[in-house]
Amino acid sequence: MTAYNWENNASNAGSDWCNQNDALMSASNVPGVALTPTITQTFSSNLAIVLTVPTIGYVAADKNHATGCEDVNVTPNYLSTRFKVSVPKKNAPFTLTPSATDGFVYQDEWVNFLDKTYPTAKTDATRTIFYSLDNEPDLWASTHRRLRGDATSTPSEPSRAVALTYAEIVQRSKDYAVAIKDVVPQALVFGPVNYGWQGMVNLQSAPDAAGRDFLSFYLQQMAAAQTSTGKRLLDVLDVHWYPEANAGGIRITESNAEPAVAAARMAAPRSLWDATYLENSWITQCCGWGPIQLLPRLKQKISANYPGTKIAITEYNYGGGNHISGGIAQADVLGIFGRDGVFAANLWPLGGSHAYIHGGFEMFRNFDGFNGSFGNTAIQAASTDMVNTSVYASVDAGNPNRVVVVAINKLGVANSAAIRVWHTTRLNKVKVYTLTSASSQPQVGGPITIRQLNAFQYIMPAHSVSTLVLEP
């Protein structure tokens, strides 16, 4: 999406695929059609969508390439002949059928196109469009080196691309956010979309980092921009999180399910919040960072520099898609995201089966096969064994006498849990659904009758996620 041209749907995936211009997103030249079917399908499913607004300054002009793989650098002066200049604001009347020959693509006109095509998106809290300020700009010098002034390097050679600076990304963020908000004032803007830890810390060793924490600086500057423009330009602090935790040198994001890797995967969600957990990764070993505590860390930066900013993790994956450890990690992550106030998150597939990861979602969203759901109001839940178990609980605003508990057992043996619920209503029965190594789909378990006052014993199966629905 970084080099996507909405006018004719040309794109360039950079180092992800040969640095070539092509029609991968759509062979059609109808404006925006590479994305409109996806948006329509998303809205028909009652979901929201995050769309990328390119901010790098150039987008693909054509879809031309030789059979196979052809770098745009085979064309002399490719930036001026194979790309169009992409700018934030048109400063002229918009059209839904832009000129294909003027040499420019206007991103506020792209936002206007989306607004006119989906006019209810700005008022529908569920079926809405969120706007992302490009994607992983901290990696542009390697992923989109051609658009950063490097015409000759290859993946095996050192890049000579111009590195992104703190000052540049702040300026780009302000310019494009203003352009978006001028068209759709209600829009929520996501940024800076860091790829991972080093992007959050120093913008991948930006030349003007000068020892300053990048996200703190970014939030400070976006807060100052609100003061100067009179409008909030950054609504959601957006980062990507692919855990670096490993076991024996094998990263947990892989499909590997050896016992040590599976154990590290099931423990890794603790790095999102736990001040007592020190994962095995280069992050905790190289620089004295200590426990990662990602969400408290982000919240502290927001509180200190730009209060009111929401948090999004718009790419994440904990691996193990075809193993119960992947389902356990996914369910744990969802519970943490909900409990700790993450506004938006997107699973990003990494290839291979994701059956157990999908099962982890279903334990919150479809545990009974009929869209049975975790409640919309979180209630306090705590476990006496944070290392081996996790627990999340909820009620429904429309049905406060229905309590849904998600209980996770990370041990390879059954684990007996004494469960007590404080509630003004006496709860008498429990419906049980489980996700175990036996199946990647939730299974119905035997019901439980609560004989004491809102207290009962439950045997969590080995390596499992259990969804317990408590009712009067």
Cite the active site residues. 136
Pair 55, 189: CB distance under 8 Å: no
Query: Distance of CA 465 to CAs 286, 329, 392, Å?
Result: 34, 10, 11
Tell me the C-alpha distance between 259 and 465, whole Å. 18
β pairing state of 429-436 and 310-316: unpaired
Closest CA to 53 of 104, 108, 93, 15: 108
Number of Cβ atoms within 10 Å of the Cβ of 403:
23
DSSP string, 386-409: TTTEEEEEEEETTEEEEEEEEEEE
Tell me the C-alpha distance between 132 and 55, whole Å. 10
Query: Distance of CA 344 to CAs 205, 298, 459, Å?
Result: 27, 14, 33
Helices (H), 274-316: 282-286, 294-305
Helix (H) or strand (E) holding 197: helix 197-202
Task: Compute the half-sphere exposure of residue 164: CA atoms within 13 Å on the CB side of its CA.
Answer: 28
Residues in the chain: 472
Tell me the C-alpha distance between 21 and 269, whole Å. 38
Amino acid letter for position 450:
I
Q: Which two tokens stand for residue 167?
A: 């000052």
Tell me the C-alpha distance between 116 and 110, whole Å. 10
Asked if the bond preceding 192 is cis, omega within 30° of 0, the reply is yes
β pairing state of 236-241 and 310-316: parallel
Tell me the C-alpha distance between 354 and 366, whole Å. 16
Helix (H) or strand (E) holding 236: strand 236-241
